Amino acid sequence: MRKGWFLPTAAILGFTFLYAPIISLVVFSFNENRLVTVWSGFSLKWYGELFADPQILGAAGLSLQIAFASASIALVLGTLMAIALVRFRRFRGRTMLAGMISAPLVMPDVITGLSLLLLFVAMESLFGWPAGRGTMTIIIAHTTFCMAYVFVVVQSRLVDMDISLEEAAMDLGATPLRVFIDITLPIIAPALISGWLLGFTLSLDDLVISSFVSGPGSSTLPMVIFSKIKLGVSPDVNALATIIIGLVALGVGVATALQLRGQRKPYSRVGRAQK
């Protein structure tokens, strides 16, 4: 392609548009001034203040617990669903079912949150469980959308995998369970890890769905930030946001790297094209 100024400029503008707000937030988190938008010198004092705030620390701990639990449950459920749909004999409506699993990815959070809230209320009045809204209901809610992500990631890895690897292991005397442990799991492991990390990050990020299904005393970190913002932007929120950006970037980065590593290794397709 011909070298020119137009495409590089467009790219630079696009990236500026995306990242300027984030960069300014990170920069101002090191601002010494109490006024967020007035720079008066470098300081880490807002980070210090942040780690002295029990409300924020508590909310952060809760968010991490919820993210860990819901990503882990979603990993198991999403993987099972992916295996069921990929490995099952072709049947009518398989494509539709696969589409339905990934629908929560595009569903507006408000609707997901509202529908879950209605379900929890109805369940409580019918079976008495879950009793009230709290950590448990947030974990269940997060599991539902994390599962969709895990499903998509694991499914694409399974589709890529040469089924004759499993058949070969079975042929050599491995029972179906052994085949799963010895062959399938190690081969899809990168997808499992990246699915889990993706779920963990998304759960950590979520505000809307959590707000619907949380109860008293179970405010997640995004909810605390949001409520603090309503009282005016304070610099310690900038510091907190910077930490979250760092964590999320790390999670997404590792997940993507694992995903790419899985794709680049040519062995899953060895010999397949020669038919």
Partner 1 sequence: MPKQPLIAADARPWRDATAKPFVRINNVTKKFADVAAVSDVSLEIYQGELFCLLGGSGSGKSTLLRMLAGFETPTAGTIEIDGQDMTAVPPYSRPVNMMFQSYALFPHMNVEQNIAYGLKRENIAATEVGQRVNELLALVKLAEYGKRKPHQLSGGQRQRVALARALAKRPKLLLLDEPLGALDKKLREETQFELVKIQETLGVTFIVVTHDQEEAMSLATRIGVMNQGEIAQIGEPTDIYEFPNSRFVANFIGSANMFEGVVTEDESDHITISSAEAGCDIYVDHGVDCAPEQRLWWAIRPEKIVLSRQRPDGATNVTRGLVDDIGYLGDTSVYQIVLDSGKQVRVTKANTRRGDLDAIKWDERVYLSWAGNAGSVLTA
Q: How far is the CB of 88 from partner 1 (least distance, A)?
A: 15
Estimate the crossing angle of helix 109-127 against helix 135-160, to 10 degrees.
120
CA gap 225, 44 in Å, rounded:
19
DSSP alpha helix (H) spans, 219-265: 221-230, 235-264
Toward partner 1, which CB reaches closer, 173 or 216? Answer: 173
Toward partner 1, which CB reaches closer, 36 or 169? Answer: 169
Which 3 state secondary structure label does DSSP give 173? Answer: coil
One-letter amino acid identity for 149? Y
Q: Are 70 and 142 in contact (CB under 8 A)?
A: yes
Toward partner 1, which CB reaches closer, 54 or 186? Answer: 186
Q: How far is the CB of 90 from partner 1 (least distance, A)?
A: 9
CA gap 217, 136 in Å, rounded:
12
99: Cα separation from own chain's centroid: 19
Q: How far is the CB of 192 from partner 1 (least distance, A)?
A: 14
Q: How far is the CB of 82 from partner 1 (least distance, A)?
A: 19
Q: How far is the CB of 176 from partner 1 (least distance, A)?
A: 8
CA gap 72, 44 in Å, rounded:
35
Q: How far is the CB of 169 from partner 1 (least distance, A)?
A: 7
Toward partner 1, which CB reaches closer, 146 or 188? Answer: 188
Positions in the binding site for partner 1 (CB under 8 A): 162, 164-165, 167-175, 178, 182-183, 186-187, 265-268, 270-272, 274-275
Q: Are 214 and 138 in contact (CB under 8 A)?
A: yes
CA gap 226, 80 in Å, rounded:
35
Toward partner 1, which CB reaches closer, 41 or 266? Answer: 266
